Structure 1
Amino acid sequence: MSSAARYRKPATPSTSINPVGEQEKAELKDAVKEQAVKTSNGLSVLDVLRIIGGMLLLSSGLSYLSTSGESMTWGYNAWWTRAREWKTLLQREVSITDAQLAAYDGTDPTLPIYLALNGTIYDVSSAPSTYGPGGSYHFFAGRDAARAFLTGCFQEDAVPDLRGVEQMFLPVDPELKEGASPEDIEKAKARKPLSAGERKNRHAQELRSARKQVKEGLESWHKLFRGDKGKPYRRVGEVKREEGWLEKMPKRTLCEQAEKGRPARKYD
């Protein structure tokens, strides 16, 4: 054996091909273990959902008991809390003419009882003693009597025509108002005369206020028939009308009751 072979050092295996890569792997492994420990000691998403569900169930039960079974949502009556509204979403929306609507006045027991308010149709079948034949509000069934809902003139205003109805909210001078107090009349007589421009501005302001009251008055009735006020009614569709239908109807004057109910103008 030659001297070169005798003194040759044996090859030693490399302890680390990529020391940096091995260190990163070790750190990542430690991080995974640490996160696993934290997760095992904490709440999972399922646990959170179970807690929330339990709290909602407890709240509903307490609401049911405290309201004698009237509400499970502490009086909150949004449409999505009412089962009948979800039923409506699954049904086809009603779209009928005023003439067709007349058939749904409760005289035919095979048909639901409908009434309309400013073009929106509501199902009031749950109150046949009120809206059915012989009921105190039967005259509302099978028609759109939006005007009467505002004026209170149920016989002559059972129509959907709202033109000019805002006049019932426009004030009149105290000296022209039946039943006005003597004090208001004296204040009105002592007022400084308004210029033409001032009268125009005053009328514009009063007209805006009157139209706002008409809108609010209708919305109050819509809330009732939508079921927002706890009544078991629901919206089912819209009245189908041809373009220009309103112009074909004769214009109406304010009924006597609404005219008498106009407010007296106030003067400071």
Structure 2
Amino acid sequence: MADVRQRKPVPSTPAKAEPKKSAAALAKDEDSSSFSLLDIFRVLTFVLIVSSALSYFVTGKSLAWGLERPNWTRVDVIKSWINGPVGYTDEDLKAYDGTDPEKPLLLAINGTIYDVSNGRKHYGPGGSYHFFAGADASRGFVTGCFDTDRTPDMRGVEEMFLPLDDPEIDGLFVTPRPPSLSPRPELNSRWANAGCGRRYSSKEMKIMKEQEKRKAKQKVHEALKHWVDFFGSSKKYTRVGEVKREKGWETKGPAPTLCARAQEGRSKRARPEGK
């Protein structure tokens, strides 16, 4: 009978036990996010789309809840930053009145140049404000005389806000002459009716006119500032540079005369109370 020998079982290699993690490592694994950057991007995109759709539904027109587009996102603003500020003379500006479609449409006010190409409908040829294009028409912005005042020279503009001198009314402000000194007897009754009571002396009348002139200049400043602020804060037009002029240009040459439209808007000085 054959000798049957049993083979000894081969001992199996025990599996390596996984190293135990520390408590800190386990806490880190539990706190780690399962979201990837792509997931975060998808969520933000979804929120943005929903917000824009809801904004349009509520406001009826805006995708950003009525917020204005930031100025720095406009292409023309970015281009102006890249190109740097321009410096044109008043003569140079004439070439940018919109007649050449290859050139930007420019205007200036108070020495600052703006690109108004986005408003070509209004400032381009045939537009209702074409007279402002290609020039610094600061004077015209105040007087309203667009055909004659396409100039930055503001000398004498304050006259449009000054009362007209009128001897009959102005005489009521000044201390009347005693009737006995009148070389014209027919005026005695008018002086008597005006009364000999003191109103203004000639010196005081001069001071009053000086005050009127200061107030008139302030009105010119405010009228011009209105348009300076309009273009300066515009989200449609871009500031591109400054007008180049020689020093002291403001006082050179004869001062412009007040245009007819501005002159016609003046009125007589109001009569003093009780006169």
Q: Same fold (TM over 0.5)?
A: yes
Query: Is 1:64–1:72's contact at 8 Å kept on the other side of the alignment?
Result: no
Choose from 144, 156, 160 the match for 2:148.
156
Which residue is 1:110 aligned to?
102
Uncovered stretches (5+) of structure 1, i.e. residues with no partner: 1-53, 178-188
The root-mean-square deviation of aligned C-alpha atoms, in Å, is: 3.7
How far apart, in 1, do the equivalents of 2:160 and 2:237 lie? 29
Deviations 1:185-213 (A, max 9, x none): xxxx9696521221122122212211111
How far apart, in 1, do the equivalents of 2:138 and 2:261 lie? 16
How far apart, in 2, do the equivalents of 1:223 and 1:257 lie? 24
Deviations 1:209-243 (A, max 9, x none): 11111111111111222244x5x112111100112
Once the 2 structures are TM-superposed, how far is the Cα of residue 175 of structure 1 from its aligned partner? 8.0
SS of 2:250's partner is coil
Q: Map of 1:71-220 to 2, 5 A cutoff?
A: 85=77, 88-172=80-164, 193-220=199-226
Is the aligned partner of 1:244 residue 2:237?
Answer: no
SS of 2:249's partner is coil
How far apart, in 2, do the equivalents of 1:241 and 1:154 lie? 22
Which residue is 1:223 aligned to?
229
How far apart, in 1, do the equivalents of 2:163 and 2:66 lie? 40
- How many residue pairs match? The answer is 201
How far apart, in 2, do the equivalents of 1:145 and 1:151 lie? 10
- Residues 245 and 85 (structure 1), Cα distance of their counterparts in 2 relative to 1, 3 Å cut: same
SS of 1:126's partner is helix
SS of 2:134's partner is coil
Amino acid at match of 1:68: K
Query: Is 2:55–2:65's contact at 8 Å kept on the other side of the alignment?
Result: no
Deviations 1:5-49 (A, max 9, x none): xxxxxxxxxxxxxxxxxxxxxxxxxxxxxxxxxxxxxxxxxxxxx
How far apart, in 2, do the equivalents of 1:194 and 1:75 lie? 57
Query: Is 2:105–2:115's contact at 8 Å kept on the other side of the alignment?
Result: yes
How far apart, in 2, do the equivalents of 1:85 and 1:72 lie? 21
Once the 2 structures are TM-superposed, how far is the Cα of residue 252 of structure 1 from its aligned partner? 1.5
Query: Is 1:166–1:211's contact at 8 Å kept on the other side of the alignment?
Result: yes
Once the 2 structures are TM-superposed, how far is the Cα of residue 78 of structure 1 from its aligned partner? 9.1
- Residues 176 and 258 (structure 1), Cα distance of their counterparts in 2 relative to 1, 3 Å cut: farther
SS of 2:102's partner is coil
How does the TM-score come out when normalised to structure 1? 0.62
How does the TM-score come out when normalised to structure 2? 0.60
How far apart, in 1, do the equivalents of 2:57 and 2:209 lie? 50
Uncovered stretches (5+) of structure 2, i.e. residues with no partner: 1-46, 170-192
- Residues 170 and 126 (structure 1), Cα distance of their counterparts in 2 relative to 1, 3 Å cut: same
Who wins on radius of gyration, i.e. which is larger?
A: 2
Amino acid at match of 1:259: Q
SS of 1:127's partner is helix
